[in-house]
Amino acid sequence: MKILMAASEAVPFAKTGGLADAVSALSLALARLGHDVRVVLPRYYCVDRDKLARLEGELGVPVGGGEEWSAVYTADLPGSSGKQAVKAYFIEHEKFFGRDGIYGIPSEPDFLDNPRRFIFFCRAVFQLCRKIGWIPDILHAHDWPAALAPVFLKFWERPLGQNAEFGKTGSVLTIHNLGYQGIYSKDNYYYTGMGWDVFYSAGFEDWDMMNFLKAGLYSADKINTVSPNYARETRMGAYGFRLDGALRYRGDDYTGILNGIDTGLWNPRKDKFIPRPYSAADMSGKAKAKEALQKEFGLPVDPSAPVIGMVTRLTEQKGVGELFGPAYGSAFSICRDMKLQLLLLGTGEAWCENEIKGLSSRLGNFKAKIGYDEKLSHLIEAGSDFFLMPSRYEPCGLNQMYSLAYGTLPIVRNTGGLADTVENFDQETGAGTGFVFDDLTPNAIYNTIGWAVWAWYNRREHIEAMRLRAMERDFSWEKSARKYLEIYESVKP
């Protein structure tokens, strides 16, 4: 099959979170199964143009009643080559993408022209296919920035496109996070070039605003999200972010497929970023990683202290209010009351970064690095004993799967993909692969960390057995890629 992935992020080119990992790893897995997979994304400044080749000529992209011009660059997705190479294409447009930041910068977190940037991007997708003479069987869009691609396909390209080249192209839209929908003033709608009838029939309308994701969810042939449990949860009000009705309306066209992890990158047996690789048969490299990690964070090097790691965006979704809320959070009492070491790598909301800096200066056993650091995130996965993810909601979550692969036991809330991937500890039998709690409260986090620390000191044999069990779990992409293929095959444009 010819499959085109349209997305705003893909590793190693542009990344703010798990979306980037998922888009590239799924593409590579599908290519390994013998499919012709290509990826299209904007050329932000973070994508180094010197490493790309420029296609001859330019794209004319019809938007807002006029036309904008774009250059196109290309490169192979690292991790693929030869016949199975995944080609990535980059849409360049100085006015829209020639800046630092993918969706924003700290002083302008959501660029004011984001609606127009991504309308332009979604229209450019079709012009790109025409230019390279390659019409996909499946157009697979990811999250709100690409959600208008299936809308243009259904309401523009299939009925109106020159020679209807896209008449047989099916579409799939994947929700990686319902918390981000792309809701903007409908003043931007003219830029799509479509009529007001489509504003209503495609499902753009949202309390008199324009909702990108909602239009995509109504218009794509099939939709899915990144874990079966999140697909169930989002059909209900509490997790549906006001789109639960739209999701229920899609019935069986809406499913959940668990993400995998890229076992080429996230694998303790061949991780380049840790001092010594390790496996279930020889865990000595894990002890080495713990030592290196404690040194790196300036914590006492002590093998007997349980180390709890976190790598996270500092935003409400991740439960950081319950941990670091200045008056409400439990991080201070956790570190004050328990014999443990807590360490964190993350960036995000300013209040949270400030609170974390303050806390780590007051507590001897809490250290944090504010920033984004790929290499350090690997060392944290390998060197920690436990990994904390108290998410408010979690469509899939990759870090808990990385943790399991590295024999680092996740402490997670019973939600979304966390519930699909982590099995709770049974202190009678020693079964399980992690520690799971239900309510998102500072107390529940306190108590569950307390439980894990108790097990560390009093049920060490269980902890060691859980580690090995966790490392046996298979989260490779191949299984999930096959499920996507089933969806692709069921699409009848």
Binding site for ligand GLC (CB under 6 A): 17-19, 22, 176-177, 226, 259, 394-398, 417
| Rounded Cα–Cα distance for residues 52 and 45 (Å) | 13
SS3 170: strand
Taking CB under 6 A as the rule, does residue 320 contact ligand ADP? no
- Partner from ligand ADP, ligand GLC, none binding residue 345, C-beta < 5-8 Å depending on class: ligand ADP
Nearest residue (CB) to ligand ADP, 47 versus 345: 345
Q: How many residues are listed for the chain in this entry?
A: 493
Nearest residue (CB) to ligand GLC, 348 versus 430: 348
Contact indicator for 135, 166 with CB cutoff of 8 Å: yes
- Partner from ligand ADP, ligand GLC, none binding residue 226, C-beta < 5-8 Å depending on class: ligand GLC
Residue selected from 32, 313, 459, 483 as contacting ligand ADP according to rule CB under 6 A: 313
Contact indicator for 260, 479 with CB cutoff of 8 Å: yes
Name the helix (H) or strand (E) containing 70: strand 66-76
Q: Could you tell me the smallest distance in angstroms from the CB atom of residue 165 to ligand ADP?
A: 34
- Residue whose C-alpha is closest to residue 266's, from 176, 346, 380: 380
Residue nearest to ligand ADP (CB): 18
Residue selected from 161, 372, 424, 493 as contacting ligand ADP according to rule CB under 6 A: 372
Cβ contacts of residue 473 below 8 Å, gap of 6+? Answer: 404, 405, 421, 433
Cα–chain-centroid distance for residue 293?
25
CA dihedral 261, 263, 264, 265 (to 10 degrees): 60
- Partner from ligand GLC, ligand ADP, none binding residue 124, C-beta < 5-8 Å depending on class: none
Q: What single DSSP character describes residue 84?
A: G
- Partner from ligand GLC, ligand ADP, none binding residue 374, C-beta < 5-8 Å depending on class: ligand ADP
Residue selected from 210, 398, 445, 470 as contacting ligand ADP according to rule CB under 6 A: 398
- Partner from ligand GLC, ligand ADP, none binding residue 311, C-beta < 5-8 Å depending on class: ligand ADP
Taking CB under 6 A as the rule, does residue 17 contact ligand ADP? yes
| Rounded Cα–Cα distance for residues 104 and 154 (Å) | 29
Contact indicator for 191, 65 with CB cutoff of 8 Å: no
Nearest residue (CB) to ligand ADP, 25 versus 455: 25
Q: How many residues bind ligand ADP (CB under 6 A)?
A: 18
- Partner from ligand GLC, ligand ADP, none binding residue 244, C-beta < 5-8 Å depending on class: none
SS3 15: coil
Residue selected from 7, 25, 311, 487 as contacting ligand ADP according to rule CB under 6 A: 311
- Residue whose C-alpha is closest to residue 392's, from 311, 323, 470: 323
List of residues contacting ligand ADP (CB under 6 A): 17-19, 21, 311-313, 345-347, 372-374, 377, 396-399
